Amino acid sequence: MKQLHVLNGDSTAQSFAEANLPGDVVTWREALSEGPVLAASGSFDDLWAVRRRWLEGEDTAGTYDRKVVREFEKLSRFTDYDEVCLWFEHDLFCQINLVFLLAWFSGRDLGKTVLKQVSVDAFPGVPFFKGMGELNGAQLGSLYLQAEPLTRAELDLARRVWNAYAGSDPMAIQALGAEEFGRLRFLEDALILHLQRFPFTENGLNLIEQQLAAILMEGPKSERVLIGRFLRQDRVYGMGDLSVEQYIREGDGRLWDHSELEVRLTENGTDLMTGRRTHAPVERWLGGYFQTADSPYRWDSEEDRLVQLTN
């Protein structure tokens, strides 16, 4: 049987090489959970252009094309394989990447190719499991026993999710909560985590900003220490150090003061966590929606849903 494995990053690829599993490998290096994206109506060339500009500016060295686009293009020959297995975890980072790939497969004739996934949120003996890249070759190889086939219904759901995530109406994502997620068992929680990246009604901070602020309430931290503390405690967003650094820099001056030596709460930062002060949202892309200071969408923690404020 001829197999193709789509791995969720270079860290997993290193462990996979030690696992001695048969088959060819595509290494997925995009981070579609961060920054601007386009819905399926746009072309892939347009999507790559948007991502390239956001990640690398003009990308004069062609790094993005080499590491991302060329790898994705290998999937165009998927019908040469009896089985394509996608290795992605439970966190938002992996689930959005997985949804994008499954949405792509949903628009293609699979022929006799069987599409499978290895998707886990835990591993025996690893008490604070964060990702497959933590595992050694033998451990990772054992996960292949959990590979499960995906149905056409799950692919169609992934297409709907991607179009909602990449669209300009965040409420369309929330409406998907009534769907049957099937073997995409981590996707519903991941979408909630995405919606919690919108500002909370009580203080104008999203969940990630609140977690960073909680760390800073202990006292000023260097950027390196703040990033390290956040990454050690996070196991649901799957963010890397560059993504956390971007959050720190986006909030500089509004939420905290950032210098070369340390990050500290602003004078008003002492009430960031109490709800006595409401902060204007930081401008950033959340899927296909660009959040501005006057964006109306908020996460209501009492109602446990996204709401749209009215004037």
CATH architecture of structural domain 3-186: 3-Layer(aba) Sandwich (3.40)
CA distances from 1 to 24, 113, 148, 152, 209 (A): 12, 11, 16, 22, 47
Average pLDDT, the chain: 93
Q: How confident is the model at residue 279 (pLDDT cuts 50, 70, 90)?
A: confident
Helices (H), 7-151: 10-19, 44-56, 63-64, 70-73, 92-106, 137-143
Residue 69 per-residue DSSP state: I
- Give percent of the chain above pLDDT 70: 94
pLDDT at residue 187, as a whole number? 98
Q: What pLDDT, in 10s, does the model give residues 109-153? A: 999 999 999 999 999 999 999 999 999 999 999 999 999 999 999
pLDDT at residue 132, as a whole number? 96
Fold agreement between 3-186 and 196-308: no
pLDDT at residue 241, as a whole number? 93
Q: What pLDDT, in 10s, does the model give residues 173-218? A: 999 988 999 999 999 999 999 999 999 998 899 999 999 999 999 9
Backbone dihedral region for residue 287 (phi beyond 0: left; psi -120 to 50: alpha; all else: beta): left
CATH of 196-308, one of 1.25.40, 3.30.70, 3.40.50, 1.10.10: 1.10.10
Assigned token pair, 292: 């501005």
Give the mean model confidence (pLDDT) for residues 252-275.
79
Residue ranges of domains in the chain: 3-186, 196-308
pLDDT at residue 275, as a whole number? 56
pLDDT at residue 274, as a whole number? 62
Answer yes or no: is pLDDT of 264 > 70: yes
Q: How confident is the model at residue 56 (pLDDT cuts 50, 70, 90)?
A: confident
Answer yes or no: is pLDDT of 245 > 70: yes
